[in-house]
Amino acid sequence: MTEPLTLLSKWIDDAGGMESLDAIAMCLATADIHATPSARIVLLRGIDERGLRFFTSYLSRKGRELAENPRAAAVFHWPHLHRQVRAEGDVAPLADDESDAYFNARPRGHRIAAWASEQSEPLESYVTLEERFEHFDARFEDEAVPRPHSWGGYLLAPVRIEFWQGRPNRMHERTLYTRAATAWSKTLLQP
């Protein structure tokens, strides 16, 4: 793994590891074609030399924004460690086999929910959503739940990653990694 992504993996481990929701929760910021930003918390579901992986509905607001403007920023914050990481870069859908593998590893109820929910769309009532869940639960009762074509993964390939380590007297350490082609450069920033 490349240097800043290795460091990010270590900081995630320090925060509790990939099994800890607090460690892998990240604020994902996207923008539509008009540059109107929106942000929400999503879970990091993988990290390697290519970048950061997360999964969602392609038809959700974030999915639509990523289709219009395939760039995003993600922020991790671990207040108990006085640490923060910001990553910015291009986003692309993952290959079907990667999305299938992750989807098939999810609990059955989560897979049914991916069919039942038209994420980000208006909802008449919660009863309607429960009825849709029951419908798809019955539909796939005796078979494996396939991944909906409208659901899958994304890869955020960072071109900038900034690590912030809190220090006394607001003398914080900030280290910025910037990628050009396949090489990373490192710059220290003032607090």
Q: Which phi and psi angles does 162 have, rounded to 5°?
A: -115, 130
Give CA–CA dist 72/93, Å, rounded.
13
Q: Residue 87's closest CA among 64, 71, 65?
A: 71
Task: Determine whether 83 is an active site residue.
Answer: no
* 9, 148, 187 from 49: Cα distances, Å: 11, 27, 20
**Catalytic residue selected from 64, 170, 174, 179:** 170
Distance in angstroms (rounded) separating the CA atoms of residues 102 and 151: 11
Q: How far is Cα 167 from Cα 171, in angstroms, rounded to an integer?
A: 5
Catalytic sites, residue numbers: 170
